[in-house]
Amino acid sequence: MDWFPFYNSLRIALISSVIVFFGGILAAYYIARLHPVLKGILDVALTLPLVLPPTVVGYFLLMLLGPRRPLGAWFWEVFHARLVMTWYSGVFAAAVVAFPLMYRTARGAFESFDETLAFSGQTLGLSNTYIFWRIRMPACRQGILAGAVLAFARALGEYGATSMVAGYTPGRTATISTTVYQLWRTDNDALAFRWVMVNMAISAVVLVVVNLLERRERAGKKAARRE
C-alpha cells in the first residue's frame, strides 16, 4: 500500500491550515470592527467558498492560477514554476475552501469577547498588541482552536477543488480523496475501502478533539459564572 496520498494529504492540510489560521484570525479581528455595511459585504465575500460547490471554487482558481492566466503566466516567467497540477496547488485549493470555517469561528469568538477586559488593559497603559495576544487570544482560545481543527479537517478531506487544480498523479499530486475516486473508477474496491477507513479514522479523531474543546469551553463558562 503506497502511503504517499496520506503523506501528501497531511502535508497539504498542515500548510493550508497554518495559512488559514493566521489569515482567518487577522480577517476576523479587523472585519468585526468595521462598519456593518462594509462588514456584511466582506463577510459574504470571504464566506462564499463555504457554500459554493468545490468544483466551482476549483474553476475560479484555474481562471486565476492557470498557465495562460496573468498570475500563472507571470509566475512561470519569473520563477519557472507552475501554480496548477503540482502538489502545492492542493494547498491553494484547501486553503480557499477551509478559510471560511476558520474565519467564521474566529469572528464568533471575537464578537463574544468581553471588551471591558480590553478597555481595562488600555487604562493600564497596555499596548493593543499586548492586549490582543495576552488577553483577547487566551480568552477566545477555545473557539479559535475549534475553528483551526475544523479547518484542518476540511483541508484534509478536500476533493473537488483539489482535483481540478492539482489533478491526480500517483506519487506527485495524489491525495486520499483523489486516490479513493481513482481506485473506485478502476474497480479496485478493496484498496479504495482501505483508504476510506483511513480517512474515517482521521475524521473521527478530529471530531473527538472538537468535542473535547467544546466541553472545555462550556466548563470554563460555567466556572466563570460561578465565580
**Which residue reads 468581553 in cell numbers?**
114
Alpha helices in 1-53 (DSSP H): 4-31, 36-51
Q: Could you write out the DSSP letters of every residue in 149-204?
A: HHHHHHHHT--HHHHHHT---TTTT--HHHHHHHHHHTT-HHHHHHHHHHHHHHHH
Q: What residues contact residue 30 under an 8 Å CB cut-off, 6+ apart?
A: none
Residue 222's Cβ-count burial label (10 Å; 0-12, 13-18, 19+) is exposed
Nearest to 107 by CA among 44, 24, 16: 24
Q: What is the pTM of this model?
A: 0.85
Cα–Cα dist 60/48, whole Å: 12
Please list the pLDDT of the chain residue by residue as tens digits (227 residues).
778 989 999 999 999 999 999 999 999 888 888 888 888 888 888 999 988 888 999 999 999 888 888 888 888 888 888 888 999 899 999 999 999 999 999 988 888 888 888 888 888 888 888 888 888 888 888 888 888 888 998 898 888 899 899 888 888 889 989 999 888 888 888 889 998 898 888 888 888 887 787 777 666 666 656 65
| Backbone conformation region of residue 167, classed left if phi is above 0, alpha if psi is from -120 to 50, else beta | left
